[in-house]
Amino acid sequence: MALRNAVLRHLRVPVQNLAVTPDVHFQKDLGLDSLDTVEIVMAIEEEFKLEIPDKEADKIDSCSLAIEYVFSHPISVLRGILDSFNSFIENPVGFDYLVTPDVHFQKDLGLDSLDTVEIVMAIEEEFKLEIPDKEADKIDSCSLAIEYVFSHPMSS
């Protein structure tokens, strides 16, 4: 979904009539030029917190190759998710030190249930998710939050 949105932001045709699927080629199917493709790659880098080397970026000319690249770099994606957690953990609850994946919100950080609700709300906002209450109640650590976001098909 996030990749589709990155592609759609750079199209110059009405998107209502366009189905961006994994097999879509940027130039052949969408009529995009090389500059458009560079912009899409840059959007992918920003969206997934990746740094794609120029040699690799030159190879990304379709949605399937972009998807393949993103999924072949789960550590980078995970690092990006963790960076996002660090930024919103620091903001709502006032922590100014690095939050690691194994940090428990209550045991390690001393957060109460209201703080945890704020963190879940920040996760929803940051990753454009709607987390059901039953699932939100289970998220009590960074590792569970990362796992939820990483495995959720609608996260961006």
Q: Catalytic positions, please?
A: 33
Instruction: For residues 51 and 41, give the distance between their C-alpha atoms in angstroms, rounded to a whole number.
Output: 10
SS3 state of residue 50: coil
Instruction: For residues 139 and 146, give the distance between their C-alpha atoms in angstroms, rounded to a whole number.
Output: 9
Name 70's Cβ contacts closer than 8 Å, sequence gap at least 6: 3, 44, 48, 50, 77
- Count of H-run helices and E-run strands, the chain: 8, 0
